[in-house]
Structure 1
Amino acid sequence: MCDNGENEDLLTGMVVATCDLERRWLWALCLAVLLVQVDTSVVNLAVRAIEVALRAPVATVRWVVAAYNLAYAALLLSGGTLADLLGRRRIALLGLGIFTAGCAVAGLAPTMGVLITGRVISGVRAALILPATLALVRVLWHEPARRAHAIGVWAGMNGAAFVIGPPLGGFLVTVTGWRGIFLVTVPLGLVAAWAARSLPESRAQAGRHLDLAGQAWAICALGAFTYAAAGSPHAAVAILAGITASLGFFIVERRAGAAAMVPLALLRQGALTDAVGVAAAMTFGMYGLLFLVPLVWQRFGILTVGEAGFALLPMSVIFVALSHKTGRWSARFGAKALIGSGMALIAMGLAVVSLSRVGAPLALAEGGLALTGLGMALATGPNLALATGAVTPERSGTASALANTARMVGATFGVAVAATMYGASGAGPLGFAWALRMGALVVAAGAVLALCA
């Protein structure tokens, strides 16, 4: 038998081993998420180059971003269900496998249609990876404080992608052309898949199945509303189709009961629905900003593509520097206060950038971007923790999918509305200002929701 000292040494060794194991898990999960988000952020820097190379107007080029977001948002719910049913590790690995195909198609695309197809494939991959990795964080970290820290680090990968993505995108577009931003990421998918092999498997199969009818109605509803938001001349018909598809979705889900893709009883969880609304409002403003600012900097000769990539760093560096601290701040000040304050800062940042003339003077635009990054750091992690913590571990895949679906729905509409308002006003300073002010209003509404919930 061991004496007390030996027991203490054994316990210390077990704690150290557990911490080392958790670090390896977190590294693998964050690498997969980083890959998805870098792929998203580099594209914003290439919009102008794609516009010129493929001779496409802004109204068409925006679909390079919007098609990815649309596929991502529409399939996230099924991605979460598949993660619960087939195994979160297995689905994450499948998503990383699809990554190579999407990037290759986009990088070799001869036309805008093929490029958009490649982005749709990439969106499918993201829809599998994100809910699976967030659900694994929810399941593998049992102690609330350690889980909050892990989620904060996971969320911080969004910021890390913003740090890496813009300068990398600007460099690649300058050196290799716009195709390089897709092709250079192909081998990285293999590295991420190798790292993810070490993750333990986790699933929750009881009473679950893939809700194909609900998924079909969800795709129709989101596609119709996105088409309307993109300024289509048939917007009224698209809105009517979207409303009809939404009704069909809720009817199907109600009949499916607990086996539904989105059980309606789950939506009666107040904390979850509040987190979903806040996530959508946040990304509506943020993604509209990230689409327009690099584009106008390049269109109006304010910055080159490489300079634009580095000019986005104040926002992303602040996000990364502070995201990992939000778990501790949530415990001290309360999640709602932190989320509401963060949303208010994002709205202020968008309003400040809107006061510039197509992103100039740079000092004004950079100040607004810094405020936006600070707000994102405060709100993102606590809001995701609120969403996943509102349900039992068995529904963690569904809850994480709902939270990320809300993020990508907001992003899809944010890009579509920003591009439409910008183009409708002659693609000049007035359209730029009004597009960002619309984003600020939506984010401010999210702040009110967070504080008053």
Structure 2
Amino acid sequence: MDTRTRETGSVLRLVSAFSGTFMALLDLTIVNVAAPSIQADLNTDLAGLQWVVDGFALALAALMLSGGSLGDRYGRKRVFLSGLGVFVVASVLCALAPTLAVLVAGRCLQGAAAAVIVPGALSLIGQAVPDPRDRARVMGYWGMAGALAVIAGPLLGGLLVDTLGWPSIFLVNVPVGLAAIVIGLRAIPESADPRHAALDPAGQVLVIGALAALSYGVIEARSHGWESWITIGSLTAAVLAAVLVPLVERRVIRPLLPLGLFRDARFTITNLASVALGFAANGGFFLLSALYLQQLRGHSAMETGLALLPMTLSVLPASLVAGRLNAAHGPRLPMLTGYVLTGAALAAMTVFDAGTPYPVVAVLFVVAGVGQGLAITPAAAAVLETVPLERSGIAAATVNTARQVGTALGVAVLGTIVAESRDPVHGMQVSLLVAGAVTLAAAALLAVRWRAPERPPAEQVPASEPVAD
């Protein structure tokens, strides 16, 4: 095989991985601008809309650890392409859903498929580009693919909803998914590391139970009351399941979540920060697009997509800059900068009301978009740097799981704060203040507790080797 053929194969391999990432992440944002249309057509309330968003996020968060392990065990190509196929089928189910229950079921199936696609794409990149510096640059391009999904979601979703109706936002996945499958069948080589993979049914059930019970207790508390046995029972079950997870994982030979990975402070802090970013940025995005721009400011779906452009467009160049900063200085600098910008922007958004001048809104959207673009890509690169190559699947799955756990909690908690408030404007302002505070707390953790990779003391370095500066 000549050099040109190998280079073409590598490019096509990345195209398939990036396309799968684009499709999976598109559905994190595109549904938000369709929320009012779905609410009217399926006759639901804010809690129903929360489940449409959280059905996807919960399945993605709960199953992503298994998704990474499946690729490591049974073959990264096989599992990645199977996930793409399931996602296409689930998208058709969502588009044809006659009731809220069917739509939520389709969203859960989409999330389960995305739980295979996202870590699978990152693991394919890790296998294809083993050099850390080259991989950091490629991760910047992967971040651009995700940023393009963020950009396209609100704008494409608004256009489709206003012209073809909300089902079309799911049908758009069909050609993208099929193209990624065709390219991947040809270009992706098979690889696996079954000795390092794990399928842990007990741990998986506990993770699903903890997230589902917590989300149900928070979202449905408005209907049942915080003092009801259903709410208290759900929240208690979530706590018990969460406590049991590490106890079970310590006894499993090949656990779903290898606790040893968390001995590295960088790995632990990156995952905690990712939970915070998902909670604040993605939970806040749901409120801004579904509630603030459409219900409080009266924008149509298309107008909402255009209003969100300053935020979504700023993510793309910031992701590219993040990749370059990460390659040159490591992940901490772009992550810390991104978290500070995102947290400050969300906190400042507490001034928003129905009459806030749009230039003020646009400026804060830009700051938030730049912050997210700087924060997301280095987080994935950071965890890949802390593990050996054969653990790339589980490492990639862990950091993405953390962010999606945050997303599910953010949509549930921030949406419930709004629902519990008598004044929706005040409720939104309180929610955004909480989101900003959580993000800035994560920034403080990155600033204070992050430790650079350890180097041997100067006196232990052999005389023939220079001491690193």
**Is the Cα–Cα contact under 8 Å of residues 359 and 365 in structure 1 kept in the other structure?**
no
Residue aligning to 1:264: 259
Matches within 5 A, 1:225-304: 225-230=214-219, 232=221, 233=225, 234-257=230-253, 259-295=254-290, 296-304=292-300
Matches within 5 A, 1:35-434: 35-197=23-185, 198-206=187-195, 208-230=197-219, 232=221, 233=225, 234-257=230-253, 259-295=254-290, 296-358=292-354, 360-426=356-422, 428-434=424-430
Please state how far the C-alpha of 1:432 moved relative to its aligned partner. 0.8
Change (3 A) 1:349 1:247: same
Write the letter of the residue equivalent to 1:362: Y
Write the letter of the residue equivalent to 1:53: D
Residue aligning to 2:441: 445
Change (3 A) 1:404 1:286: same
**Is the Cα–Cα contact under 8 Å of residues 77 and 190 in structure 2 kept in the other structure?**
yes
**Is the Cα–Cα contact under 8 Å of residues 353 and 364 in structure 1 kept in the other structure?**
no
Please state how far the C-alpha of 1:57 moved relative to its aligned partner. 0.8
Please state how far the C-alpha of 1:207 moved relative to its aligned partner. 5.1
**Is the Cα–Cα contact under 8 Å of residues 297 and 359 in structure 1 kept in the other structure?**
no
Structure 2 gap segments, 5+ residues each: 451-469
SS in 2 for 1:151: helix
**Is the Cα–Cα contact under 8 Å of residues 141 and 323 in structure 2 kept in the other structure?**
no
CA distance in 1, matches of 2:73, 2:318: 35
CA distance in 1, matches of 2:17, 2:425: 41
Residue aligning to 1:3: none
Q: TM-score, normalised by structure 2?
A: 0.90
Please state how far the C-alpha of 1:447 moved relative to its aligned partner. 0.7
Please state how far the C-alpha of 1:345 moved relative to its aligned partner. 0.2
SS in 1 for 2:341: helix
Please state how far the C-alpha of 1:249 moved relative to its aligned partner. 1.7
**Is the Cα–Cα contact under 8 Å of residues 168 and 309 in structure 1 kept in the other structure?**
yes
Residue aligning to 1:5: none
Which is worse superposed, 222-231 or 370-379? 222-231
Change (3 A) 1:334 1:210: closer
CA distance in 1, matches of 2:126, 2:189: 13
Please state how far the C-alpha of 1:229 moved relative to its aligned partner. 3.1
**Is the Cα–Cα contact under 8 Å of residues 74 and 219 in structure 1 kept in the other structure?**
yes
**Is the Cα–Cα contact under 8 Å of residues 54 and 111 in structure 1 kept in the other structure?**
yes
CA distance in 2, matches of 1:301, 1:451: 37
Which is worse superposed, 196-205 or 128-137? 196-205
Write the letter of the residue equivalent to 2:206: W
- Post-superposition Cα deviations, 1:269-290, rounded to whole Å, max 9, x if no partner, equal 2211111111111111111221
- Post-superposition Cα deviations, 1:9-58, rounded to whole Å, max 9, x if no partner, equal x9xx84x6654443222222111100111122110110111111111111
Please state how far the C-alpha of 1:450 moved relative to its aligned partner. 1.5
Write the letter of the residue equivalent to 2:316: V
Residue aligning to 1:6: none
**Is the Cα–Cα contact under 8 Å of residues 297 and 354 in structure 2 kept in the other structure?**
no
Residue aligning to 2:461: none
**Is the Cα–Cα contact under 8 Å of residues 288 and 436 in structure 1 kept in the other structure?**
no
CA distance in 1, matches of 2:321, 2:440: 23
Alignment size in residue pairs: 440
- Post-superposition Cα deviations, 1:206-251, rounded to whole Å, max 9, x if no partner, equal 1543111110111111111222332523433222211211222222
**Is the Cα–Cα contact under 8 Å of residues 95 and 167 in structure 2 kept in the other structure?**
yes
Change (3 A) 1:350 1:263: same
Change (3 A) 1:121 1:165: same
Write the letter of the residue equivalent to 2:124: L
SS in 2 for 1:432: helix
Please state how far the C-alpha of 1:359 moved relative to its aligned partner. 7.7
Please state how far the C-alpha of 1:291 moved relative to its aligned partner. 0.6
Please state how far the C-alpha of 1:317 moved relative to its aligned partner. 1.2
Change (3 A) 1:428 1:436: same
**Is the Cα–Cα contact under 8 Å of residues 74 and 218 in structure 1 kept in the other structure?**
yes
Q: TM-score, normalised by structure 1?
A: 0.93
What CA RMSD, in Å, does the superposition of the two structures yield over aligned residues? 1.7
SS in 2 for 1:255: coil
Which is worse superposed, 307-316 or 76-85? 307-316
Instruction: After the TM superposition, list the runs of 4 or more consecutive aligned residues in structure 1 that deviate by more than 6 angstroms.
Output: none
CA distance in 2, matches of 1:42, 1:359: 25
Please state how far the C-alpha of 1:301 moved relative to its aligned partner. 4.3
**Is the Cα–Cα contact under 8 Å of residues 350 and 436 in structure 1 kept in the other structure?**
yes
Which is worse superposed, 380-389 or 18-27? 18-27
